[in-house]
Amino acid sequence: MLKKPAALVVLDLLSLTLVPVVMLIIIVYTPVEVVMGPVQKVFYFHISAAWAGMVCFILGAVGGAGYLLTRRIRWDWLSSAAIEVGLVFSIITIFSGMIWARPIWNTWWVWDPRLTTTAIMTLIYLAYFILRAGVSTPEAQARLGAVFAILAALTVPLTFFSIRLFRTIHPVVIAPADGAGGAFSMSPRMLNTLLISLLVFTVLLVDLVWRRVRLAQFEFEMTREVE
């Protein structure tokens, strides 16, 4: 049994502490947006989850490149762990966006460019695990997964910049352009809360990815012992 690193213990404690704290800040500290009302508070989780998911997918591509260059299985653990965690955050992004859309747009879903590209990105990364499951050997899984992770990462900038590249009704929260549809101004307290939420979700994603990498290592060592 591998000893749990002290840094991971610290990350666990930070995650368990900071997530409830940021929820309290969102509920109590941030003002209610004038036009959208209380439902706007979903955005702090929505944006932070989207950020965390995209960072994980980029990290998955880095892990894939690392494996192709070195053939070390640890890079594959990192790649698959990051993509798995990123997929969870992307699903949270979609559902939290739907919670906001229902009272604001009077529908759960519209085929807006930002929503569509996010859905496509999520489905592509779901296919990553289907692809790996169809390959028998760990080496082939790692090699094929690495190539897929690198190519799938192209959907990340497309999703991020979709509200700039296409006409969209999705709010442009970060650095909105003049006249951007759906844009709303953030007060200093709103901006502070968003930055805190982004930081907390970054800590959380690092903690979750690290834990998933350790689980992959445990599985690998157990397989070797059985053999």
Is 6 a domain residue? Answer: no
- Report the b/e string of 126-160 with b at 16+ CB within 10 A: eebeeebeeeeeeeebbbbbbebbbebbebbeebb
Position 181 scores a pLDDT of: 45
Grouping H, G, I as helix, E, B as strand and the rest as coil, residue 113 is helix
Calculate mean pLDDT across residues 64-79.
Answer: 94
37, 8, 11, 41: which is closest to 197 by C-alpha? 41
Instruction: Report yes or no on 85 lying in a domain.
Output: yes
34 occurs within a structural domain: no
Work out the mean pLDDT of the chain and round it to a whole number. Answer: 85
Distance in angstroms (rounded) separating the CA atoms of residues 48 and 167: 23
CB atoms within 10 A of CB 14: 15
Mean pLDDT over residues 131-152, rounded? 90
Is there a domain that residue 9 lies in? Answer: no
Q: How many domains does the chain have?
A: 1
Q: Is the pLDDT of residue 195 over 50?
A: yes
Q: Specify if 113 maps to a domain.
A: yes
Mean pLDDT of 98-102: 85
User: What span, in angstroms and rounded, lies between the C-alpha atoms of 197 and 51?
Assistant: 10
- Predicted confidence at residue 178, as pLDDT, reads 47
Q: Which of 33-42, 114-123, 150-159, 206-215 has the lowest mean pLDDT?
A: 33-42
- Residue 175 has φ and ψ, to the nearest 5°, of 50, 60
pLDDT of residue 53: 94
Asked, for residue 3, whether it belongs to a domain, the answer is: no
| Domain coverage including residue 149 | 42-226
How many residues does this entry show for the chain?
227
pLDDT value at residue 179: 44
Give the mean model confidence (pLDDT) for residues 121-137. 89
Tally of CB atoms within 10 A around 122:
21
**pLDDT tens sequence across 1-33:** 567 888 989 999 999 999 999 999 998 888 887
Q: Is residue 2 part of a domain?
A: no
User: Does any domain span residue 5?
Assistant: no
